[in-house]
Amino acid sequence: MADEKARYSYAVKASETVNIAFPVAANIAWDGYWRAAYEKANAVIQKQANEFVRRGNITLEEARNLVEVQRNGLVIEMRKPLSPFGRFYSETLKPSNRLPTLESLLAKKGSIQAVLVSTGKTRAVTNRIAFISRTAGSAGIVLEIVAIAVVIEQTPEKQKAQVTAEQISGAVGGLSGGTYGMWRGAVAGAAWAGTWASPTLAIPVIGEITEGSAIILGGIIGGLFFSWLGHEAGHTAAHHVWKLLPIQWTQ
């Protein structure tokens, strides 16, 4: 019995550590997979643009449709399913109401051919972040599921139903709190970057603090803090509700 309690206590402590990071992992994994879908859709648009370039004699109407209708329309549509953090990050770096028009791109690049050659290009740094997010985030989700399963498996038989309810409620509360916290932290990070960040301000590992990196850093910090609050609230609520239920579980 003592050994069983010790294993259960250790499993709970390990699970609580994972619970805090899980909401951040879930959000960045979700956004990372949508970024991958966006890259693939952009590749299709770029293929069409390349065909126009090879054909030659591209009309202004064809170029405008590709840039302003297809490309800009794709940007707007692919942001809709993102997490609040992902949408804020995207809108801050490239606002939907200021997406490039054909005229602005022509003024910058000089010719329709030059515009079309880069129509489907995406931010390399954002693609790298998305790849890391998909990998690390997915691993975090799997780790959370395993941690919850281990806690339930190690729980004494008479308490399994109650602990299951508490673990699931804690995970749901943590996910809700973490999702809100990532958005709130991202907003704070953007505000901080606008006031303090500069090319001379650098942090080890992270490097130069830009608006994008400040948003990511703020989102992670906010997500971790509010996920802890949400997890504790969900776990505690389930615990008290369970105590009020007129049910006696027997082995």
At residue 78, the pLDDT reads 92
At residue 196, the pLDDT reads 54
Instruction: Tell me what percent of the chain is helix, strand and coil, each rounded to the nearest 5.
Output: 80, 0, 15
pTM score, whole prediction? 0.77
At residue 201, the pLDDT reads 43
Q: What span, in angstroms and rounded, lies between the C-alpha atoms of 144 and 154? A: 15
Flag residues of the chain having pLDDT under 70.
1-20, 194-209, 242, 245-251
Number of CB atoms found within 10 A of residue 33's CB: 16
Number of CB atoms found within 10 A of residue 224's CB: 17
Beta strands per DSSP E along 92-230? 202-203, 207-208
* pLDDT tens-digit readout, 204-241: 444 445 777 888 888 899 888 888 888 888 878 877 78
At residue 88, the pLDDT reads 92
At residue 237, the pLDDT reads 82
Q: What span, in angstroms and rounded, lies between the C-alpha atoms of 60 and 109? A: 15
Q: Output the six-digit token pair for 121.
A: 């290009």
At residue 120, the pLDDT reads 78
Name the CA dihedral angle for 70, 71, 77, 83, rounded to a multiple of 10 degrees.
170
CA 232 to chain centre: 22
At residue 138, the pLDDT reads 81
